[in-house]
Amino acid sequence: ERARDYLHKTGRFIVIGGIVSPVHDSYGKTGLVSSRHRLTMCQLAVQSSDWIRVDPWECYQDTWQTTCSVLEHHRDLMKRVTGCILSNVNTPSITPVIGQPQNESSQTIYQNNNFSNKPMAAKILGKVGESLSRICCVRPPMERFTFVDENANLGTVMRYEEIELRILLLCGSDLLESFCIPGLWNEADMEVIVGEFGIVVVPRDGADPDRIMNHSSILRKYKNNILVVKDDLNHPMSVVSSTKSRLALQHGDGHVMDYLCQPVIDYILKSQLYINTSG
């Protein structure tokens, strides 16, 4: 939520959706519970959100998927479902995005003779295709993400402005720091993640993202593609921690309420997750 607020404040982005993608069971992390439980907990955590959804694709694959492949999957899905051309961070698209799928014959969408029924650009922009129908859960109607150029010379069909879509990886500074560990990440994947997509970083426990970036040649190379979320002193984001949440559950610490919403806590207790025998 605060990452979205920060991106809006920069004036460079309109965040239309967020995707939570739990990792595959074969990731191999110690203490990782079944994806069945993790998917349910994530769904409970975002059930009141009108812009964040949980995507099971990564969990449902035959084996663990790299972060790079997950980003590419969502980029390809969004492109396929919307028919839009998605821009890389470094090379914004200059190809007009027409409000219809690629490889389909064009058709007249808005005629001059029903001008009074044409939606206005501001109204369409406000919805941005109903957030591309909740980030590609289903195919949205074409007109919902069609931008009307009110200054265009109207012909048989109205002209459309471009929709430039980007997918960014949201992470904590601890993940950013892991990019600096030799051999941990595939360098080609790092080039794609930072160079083609971009990263939004939430600082954790006083970690300095600028210092971290200076320790990696790839991070330095694409420094402009890394956005660091400025912390709100009244609501420090460093308290967001799955590790702290699990420890609080194991020790019966009431501060778990600071990290998790009640439906998730109830599910954890009912399923007896993360709780040791003494708890």
d(CA 266, CA 274): 13
Over residues 139-149, the mean pLDDT reads 41
Distance of CA 93 to the CA centre of its chain: 20
CATH of domain 1-81+163-233: 3.40.50.620
Model confidence over 253-277: pLDDT tens digits?
A: 888 888 889 999 999 999 999 876 4
The model scores a pTM over 0.85? no
Within the chain, which residue ranges are assigned CATH 3.40.50.620? 1-81+163-233
Say what the pLDDT of residue 163 is.
Answer: 58
Cα distance between the two ends of the chain? 32
Alpha helices in 21-169 (DSSP H): 35-45, 57-60, 67-82, 121-136
- 30: Cβ contacts below 8 Å, ≥ 6 apart: none
Model confidence over 14-30: pLDDT tens digits?
A: 888 899 999 999 998 88
Q: Which of 9-13, 155-159, 177-181 has the lowest mean pLDDT?
A: 155-159
The size of the chain, in residues, is 279
DSSP 244-255: HHHHHHHTT-GG
Model confidence over 220-261: pLDDT tens digits?
A: 999 999 999 986 666 666 667 788 888 888 888 888 888 889
pLDDT, the chain, mean:
74
